[in-house]
Structure 1
Amino acid sequence: MRQIWKPFRALYFASLMMLIGSGLLSTYLALRLASEHVDGLWVGALMAANYFGLVLGGKLGHRLIARVGHIRAYATCAGFVGAAVLGHGLIDWLPAWLLLRMIVGLGMMCQYMVIESWLNEQAQANQRGVVFSGYMIASYLGLILGQMILVLHPALGLELLMAVAMCFALCLVPVAMTRRIHPAPLHPAPLEPRFFMERVPQSLTTVLGGGIIVGSFYGLAPLYASQQGLSTEQVGLFMGCCIFAGFLVQWPLGWLSDRYDRAVLIRTIAFLLALASLPLAILSHAPLEVLFVAGFVVSLLQFCLYPLAVAFSNDHIEGDRRVSLTAMLLMTYGIGASIGPLVAGVLMKLFGSQMLYAFFSFFALMLVWRIRPQAVTHLHQVEDAPLQQQVVVPEAMSPLGAALDPRVDEQIVLDQMCDGVARAPHEVEAVSEVDESDPEPAHKSSN
């Protein structure tokens, strides 16, 4: 495995530095606003702006890479991201922070596209799972180390913003100096929202719900922990513990996903997530032990939703449509992650910090209601669907940055996407309640 990873260590190091900076920035901004007694709505809005930038960055990043090449595009966006990070220290006006946060998300989208397309292009087909697992490890490790910086340096001064900017400067070095062959030019693939909403409605519903929950977690969990009375060091430990749970669950999840019905797994995990969130949703001030244990268990479950949905959808989509499927899933995830922090922030402002986990419990129950294993027809079951989709592979890239597959050129404008995804939950009931005995299955959904 070490020999397989060795040629990609420059890209792994670049990913590690990017995620250290990104993880630290999200937690720092939440704690900084909490220390200044700013409404949780603004904290949620900042995370929503970040994900909105990621969604928009798919189109702009594709054009930039096609025009100037991978390395120049990566360097350009890293420069913009570093400048936007430092801008948070120069400007105290919160609306300007929204714009800066969106620029960070947009720039990171392009960086993700460069790295993931590079890995996808250069990895051998029989080694791609291992190559992308190394990328996933570097990503999770970066997020965890970003939280640990707060433990070592709890003061919420401008030094942390400088550390974030330094991470984005250092991530330039390995990419600029790599001797690996550049990836081939990008070739766009069409996006087919209506087709996927009819074919895999339950998967899209799960991805939307997972985006809402995980986006709210990254944006508002630091604020929640701070309002529970945790110090900056303890908030860093809490976030690191929760993110580590997401990393820890991936391999067991892969084993379960390959051996049990994925629709049943999604519904079971959603039900367990609703139950696990209840203690933190009920207790206005949870004891430290309960906070860490329950937070770990909730994170263990919430980070299962997206990878299971990706695997579930790939079971019912032909190989020539999987690039477009990746774009659809990640676009849906990004929209959910943009909406979730805004709604959860309002609830926390009105009813208290514990509403964050009440919000998680509610949407987990919504998934229990919407996901119906008995409605899966298996009419379009694909025998050669890729295994271990919970590992970062081309058909199921990491939701950490919600980075779109760079081969996809989104020809559909954002408002059409929002309209389509908004209709998806209402269409799921109509198309997912399919009886396998239906004599006219040609236009029915698979899940």
Structure 2
Amino acid sequence: MKPLGSVRWPAIAALTAVSTLAQIGQFGIGFMVLPVWLAHQGLDAPRAGLFAASQWTGMLAGLMVAPALVARLGAKKTVALGLTATIIAFPAVSWLSWPLWIAPGVLTGLGIGLRWIANESWLYRLVPEELSGRVVGIHETLIATAGVVAPALAAWSGPVGPVAFIAGVALTLAAAIPLWLTAPEHPVRPVTHEPTVHATAQAAPISALVCLGMVVVAVGGISDGALYGLFPLYANARGMSDTQTTLMLSCLGLGGMALQVPVGWLADRAGFGVTVIVCAAASTFALSIFTLAAPVSWLFPASAFAVGGMNSAFITLGMYAAARSAKAAIVRNMRLVSLAFTASSIVGPLVTGAAMKALGNDMLMWPLAITSGALVVYTLGVCEGRRQLSGPSTAN
């Protein structure tokens, strides 16, 4: 156990600041506010869905190449590359037009993917094991502020002016300051000969728990990709103003911040399968209310809060499943869950955008409600099947 006095607390604080500032700029502005700006440029649902898919495709590419870049260049330079990609992307969006917007869309996602893997792997290697839970909790709470701060900034300044782009660049540049004040790591070279037990665990079949976690996080990815990429078009179809749109995005973010601790507590107390069923059923109900409620009703922000919380809960539960898996295979399982989330986030806006084109922009929430409802049925089937085969469900 590492003595607490030898822990690099300044480096831990600096890298947490990098994550927080970059998440607000890269995800908050790039994935939540930028689609509002694009909707004002006349982007219809299929093209908005294609742009959102390009962002998630870029993130998928970043997740795939980041480990190799960290091994070759080190974590610090890899994070810097991710920040640079975003800094290039924001002004490029304002200079270009469709279909060239796809290129900065890919860059915004690529920047997040590179920063996510490189910065967080660097950060968590510095944290003592006995304090990892508290540090991770603080870190996740801080980066969740992106879903609140960025829409609030857009509501204050107006999402259609240059302020959003300037803020995105400024916040991403600000993240570079604590990054460059932190002493770099040496590049992590691949290990040639791993212990036999570790290699066996990596090659072992994926457990039922992790498989269900991948399905759950895939539903979360579909919802996240479609909701944040296409919400401005839905809001316009419902007659909402720009201020109402950004305020609803803030409600989604607040739900994501506030409801993750209760979801984790429920998973520990009631079991994974039960928690998935509860969250998926709550998501289906909240999405239905969100569609039926009038924008001026109190039910509208309340259901947005619940929708945001349950969307984030799907991601939390996917990571929970990976964390509860065999420790020797945890890196593999975390990667599988992350890739399932990102790949489904590409599919979500494409399929939902096509459905909105055919049925109307106000139909956004119904495909997502159907997906959540299908998760309830699927998880019930998994739990019942496991119960019949071996008694109590191993998903619990």
State the 1:193 CA deviation. 9.1
Q: Which residue number in structure 2 is paired with residue 40 of structure 1?
A: 45
Match of 2:4 in 1: none
Give 3-state SS (helix, strand or coil) of 1:38's partner. coil
> Contact conserved, 1:266 with 1:308, CA < 8 A, in 2?
yes
**Letter aligned with residue 390 of structure 2:** E
Identity of aligned residues (%): 22
What is the CA–CA distance in structure 1 between the aligned matches of 2:50 and 2:12, rounded to whole Å?
Answer: 36
1:359 aligns with 2:364: no
What amino acid maps onto 1:82 in structure 2?
I
Matched ranges for 1:228-307 at <5 A: 228-282=238-292, 286-307=295-316
The alpha-carbon distance between structure 1 residues 53 and 445, as it changes in their structure 2 partners (threshold 3 A), is: farther
Distance in 2 of aligned mates of 1:145 and 1:152: 10
In 2, the alpha carbon distance for the partners of 1:357 and 1:109 equals 27
TM-score normalised by the chain length of structure 1: 0.78
Matched AA of 1:90: W
Cα pair distance change 1:224/1:164, threshold 3 Å: same
Partner of 1:66: 71
Deviation string, structure 1 residues 181-205 (Cα, Å, up to 9, x no partner): 6266154798969922766432222
Q: For residues 216 and 15 of structure 1, what CA distance do their matches in structure 2 show?
A: 24
Q: Would the alpha carbon gap of residues 77 and 308 (structure 1) be closer, same or farther in structure 2, given more than 3 Å must change?
A: closer
CA shift at 1:124, angstroms? Answer: 0.2
8 Å CA contact 2:147–2:249 kept in 1: the answer is no
**What one-letter code is carried by the residue in structure 1 that aligns with 2:218?**
L
Task: Give the secondary-structure state (helix, strand or coil) at the position aligned to 1:195.
Answer: coil
Q: Aligned partners of 2:131, 2:381: CA distance in 1, in Å?
A: 33
Amino acid at match of 1:141: T
The answer on whether the counterparts of 1:29 and 1:43 sit within 8 Å (CA) in structure 2 is no
**Among 365, 369, 373, the residue aligned to 2:377:** 369
State the superposition RMSD in angstroms.
Answer: 2.9
What CA deviation, in whole Å up to 9, does each residue of 1:69-109 have, x standing for no partner?
222222233222211221001111x2221122112211221
Aligned to 1:120: 124
- In 2, distance between residues paired with 1:8 and 1:296? 31
Give the deviation of 1:217 after TM superposition. 1.9
- Equivalent residue runs for 1:21-40 within 5 Å: 21-22=25-26, 23-40=28-45
2:334 pairs with 1:326: yes
| C-alpha spacing 1:31/1:113, structure 2 compared with 1 (3 Å) | same
Would the alpha carbon gap of residues 33 and 143 (structure 1) be closer, same or farther in structure 2, given more than 3 Å must change? same
The structure-2 alpha-carbon separation of the partners of 1:96 and 1:197, relative to structure 1 and needing over 3 Å to count, comes to farther
Matched, 1:177 2:181: yes
TM-score by length of 2: 0.87
Match of 1:212 in 2: 222
Is the 8 Å Cα contact of residues 250 and 304 (structure 1) preserved in structure 2? yes
CA contact (8 A) 1:24 1:143 kept: no
Change (3 A) 1:220 1:109: same
User: How many angstroms does 1:375 deviate by?
Assistant: 3.6
Distance 1:72 1:183 in 2: 11
The CA distance in 1 between the partners of 2:178 and 2:331, in whole Å, is 28
Match for 1:78: what amino acid?
L
Contact 1:117 1:183 survives alignment (8 Å): no
Q: Name the count of aligned residue pairs.
A: 383
Q: Is the 8 A contact 2:45 2:353 kept in 1?
A: yes
The residue that corresponds to 1:435 in the other structure is 389
Structure with a larger share of its residues in helix: 2
Residue 43 of structure 2 aligns to a residue whose secondary structure is coil
Question: Structure 1 pair 302/218, CA: closer, same or farther in 2 (3 Å)?
Answer: same
Task: Answer yes or no: is the 8 Å Cα contact 2:72–2:188 preserved in 1.
Answer: no
Partner of 2:194: none
Partner residue, 2:161: 157
Question: Aligned residue for 1:419?
Answer: none
Cα 1:222–1:435 change in 2 (3 A) is same
Q: How does 1:68-83 map to 2 (within 5 A)?
A: 68-83=73-88
> 2:375 is aligned with what amino acid?
L
Corresponding residue to 1:340 among 333, 342, 348: 348
Bigger shift: residues 57-66 or 367-376: 367-376
Query: Compared with structure 1, are the counterparts of its residues 193 and 234 closer, same or farther at alpha carbon in structure 2 (3 Å cutoff)?
Result: farther
Aligned to 2:237: 227
Contact 2:32 2:229 (C-alpha < 8 Å) held by counterparts: yes
Cα deviation digits, residues 318-359 of structure 1 (max 9, x gap) = 110111000001111111111111111122222223322111
